[in-house]
Amino acid sequence: MRIFISVGEPSGDIHGASLIRELQARHANVDIVGFGGDRMQAEGAKLLYPLVQLAVMGIVRVLSNITTFLSLLSRADRYFRHHRPDAVVLIDYPGFNMRLAKEAKRRVPTLRTIHYISPQVWAWHRGRIPKMAKFLDLMLCLFPFEIPLCAGAGLRAVCVGHPLLDSLAVEKKEHVRDTSLVALLPGSRSKEVRKIFPVMVEAAVKLRETRPSLRFEAAAASETLAMEMRSTLVAHGQDEGFCTITLRSAHDLMQRAGAGMVCSGTATLESTFFGLPMVILYRVAWLTWAVGKRLVKIPWLGLPNVLAGREIVREFLQKDAKPTPIADEMLRLLDDAKVREAQQRAQAEVIASLGERGAAKRGAEAISGMLV
């Protein structure tokens, strides 16, 4: 059995590695090839290209990498023609992976095309689902409400649950929260750190003016991002005496801090899992925001709010991401135990709605069912 897997971001690389382990547990002679990262490679995948290194997001950044993406599509096409895999499994990263699935189906009509970690078309453009049904054989969904949306468009779908439930459960610790500690979680991409971390620092300065006893800690996803964050502190007249910057410590910090400022994205769901009282921040290039505002079909950006169907966490987006109102909301969380506990109860309900652990196992079972 030969399976091509395409992953374009670090989080997807983790989920891809878990899926590979489950597939290998079921099939002694499964051959995994594709685009991915170090974790997939460590599980035995043969990488045609380390696509995770690109990890771009946003219209402007995608346009600047279009030549690379076209080259990768051409490389995949050659592989499909010469090796004719049994299936192509695409993990998240829809901008590139949907194009890849379409090309794979065109080149080898008999192969199965499967998307794991379904793209958030329910938020951005539900009209894309019938188009996806023309070149996808199976959608492995994270959330139960996605199933009827896919079924109504003629796309076969199975809800496997969210893989974060597995990866985060092993990191859960019994920490007592320190209400004098504030977490700054500006995201794992350079463009996010450049746009969002300065706002977080400015809000932290205002918090310190009101509560001199507060301490701040920021989690950096890499040493490169840590350097960018240190430079931001200096530009705002601060140093690591004001805000400690730690490396790859986000999940630990989410469990220790009294409250946090969190960049919109997967980190908000991770923070929800750990019960971190928080606010959500987001800023992007104006063109990306302008296009997104025309496409988005839901009233919230943060996943906890989307899943709850109401705003359980305050969102400060684009022009509204200003230091003073952010600091005011943070003080409300830090000073009022009832406010914190109400948010944490809502967070627990959101996590309970995601179902049980075992997403990779259920995903591998669904893939095997199509191929055996």
CATH code reported for the domain at 178-353: 3.40.50.2000
pLDDT 10s digits, 25-63: 999 899 999 999 999 999 999 999 888 776 544 444 554
Q: What is the mean pLDDT of residues 167-196?
A: 92
pLDDT 10s digits, 315-358: 999 999 999 999 999 999 999 999 999 999 999 999 999 989 99
Q: What is the pTM of this model?
A: 0.81
For helices 190-210 and 223-235, angle between their N-to-C axes, nearest 10 degrees = 40
Q: What is the mean pLDDT of residues 177-190?
A: 94
Residue 146's H or E segment, with its range, is: helix 146-152
Give me the residue spans of the domains in the chain.
2-162+356-371, 178-353
Give the model's pLDDT for residue 58: 44
Q: Phi and psi (nearest 5°) for 83?
A: -115, -20
What tokens does 284 get?
């992007």
Give the model's pLDDT for residue 278: 98
At residue 125 the predicted structure's pLDDT band, cuts being 50, 70 and 90, is: low
* Distance in angstroms (rounded) separating the CA atoms of residues 218 and 246: 6
* Distance in angstroms (rounded) separating the CA atoms of residues 127 and 133: 11
Q: Which CATH architecture has domain 2-162+356-371?
A: 3-Layer(aba) Sandwich (3.40)
Cβ proximity of 228 and 234 under 8 Å: no
